[in-house]
Structure 1
Amino acid sequence: MYQAPSLFEALTEALNSKSLLTDAAEVHGIIVGQLSGGLAHEDESWRASLVDLVNNGEALPVEVMRLVDDMRNVTLENLMDDQLGFRLLLPDDSAPFEEQIVATTQWVQGFLAGFSIAQPQLKDASEDLQECIRDLSEIALLDVPEDPDEESDIALNELHEYIRIAAMMAFAEFGLPPNKAPEKPALH
């Protein structure tokens, strides 16, 4: 269900090797939030806001930034994919349940931070998207259940799908480049 688990692992390993206090899920969430909030795709300011959030404004190591650039390019392509190919960058289903929950909340927290940096006008958003953003704010505070079971796995998969759809909705409303945005009907 997830996009490129090997990219998740490679980026997490690179971040850990440099003792950075973030992970691939949070970085991906920030990038998706920036793109979905309308930060121009060709605008390089995303780099500065990313390093402000994940490394107190200090430049990321070159090898980490290279992986982040690749991830951002793939993510943008997937968000613009008419076949809805966008996926959350999270640990795969074989990871311990607690790790999956923590990564999910970090992804959502990153998304909300990146989305707010882009400064979309939420008052102009659809009611559905406004509700999704409120829901994401609650999901960001999710706790690990004490005794996860099979139903917990099913609920987590459903939650991931909801988060994925919310991010795609935000991108459709605020992040699509002008040449890809749906045409607005002309007023007569």
Structure 2
Amino acid sequence: MPSLAEVDAEIRHLQLAMPGSELHGGLAGWLAGGGDDAAGWLASVMADPTLAAPAAGSALDRLRTATAAQLEDRDFAFALLLPEDGQPLSQRSAALFDWCRGFLGGFGLAAGQRPSLSEEGQEALADLARLAAAQPEDDGTDDAGEEDALAEIEEFVRVAALLLHGDAALGPRHRNRLN
């Protein structure tokens, strides 16, 4: 997986109006919603057919490859592309909310308006929508309780993405193999 700095640098180079965490969320949502794991993913996720596919081996190409592999990993190795733990809590929480916004957009583009989701998947999607609408609070302090709360939310988001991938991408794929 490329670093957030590498992804952000390529985003700036391509002049895309989106932070790296949000773009990763969009890619993850696209794949979780059943979107194609293809070199031209950027045009699909950004809903801009004029965007060229990321260059082979570039940070965005490696991001797609790693994200697709992580979502398919049976050991649940999926990771969110977010700022490192040493960054201010407000910056990390803002990036997490951006990631959720991106995920919802990509998921909606791939899965459509009424995806067939389990009850847990529907709840997870609704919770992600609430997080996507949230704004970080910056009271100037980063205490251990807030750090723990952010870590719990990150883990929830990670598991929610895997659950939705199971419902919208893996489930239909397995049903098609059985038929």
TM-score, normalised via structure 1 length: 0.80
CA contact (8 A) 2:42 2:52 kept: no
* Residues 1:126 and 2:118 are matched in the alignment: yes
Distance 1:124 1:57 in 2: 27
CA contact (8 A) 1:51 1:60 kept: no
Tell me which residue corresponds to 1:37: 33
Out of 93, 97, 107, the residue aligned to residue 105 of structure 1 is 97
> Aligned residue pairs: how many?
177
* Residues 1:47 and 2:39 are matched in the alignment: no
CA displacement 1:23-63 (0-9 Å, x = unmatched): 21011101100110011334x663322343xxx66536956
**What is the CA distance between 1:97 and its match in structure 2?**
1.2
* Residues 1:88 and 2:80 are matched in the alignment: yes
CA displacement 1:56-86 (0-9 Å, x = unmatched): 6653695699321211111111111111110
Tell me which residue corresponds to 1:21: 17
Out of 1, 5, 8, the residue aligned to residue 9 of structure 1 is 5
Distance 2:10 2:72 in 1: 27
* Paired-residue identity, %: 28
Query: Which consecutive unaligned segments of at least 5 residues does structure 1 have?
Result: none
Distance 1:178 1:138 in 2: 26
Distance 1:149 1:89 in 2: 23
Cα distance, 1:176–1:45 mapped onto 2, change above 3 Å: farther
Q: CA RMSD in A?
A: 3.0
Cα distance, 1:177–1:76 mapped onto 2, change above 3 Å: farther
Matched residue type, 2:149 = A
Distance 1:64 1:113 in 2: 25
Cα distance, 1:9–1:127 mapped onto 2, change above 3 Å: same
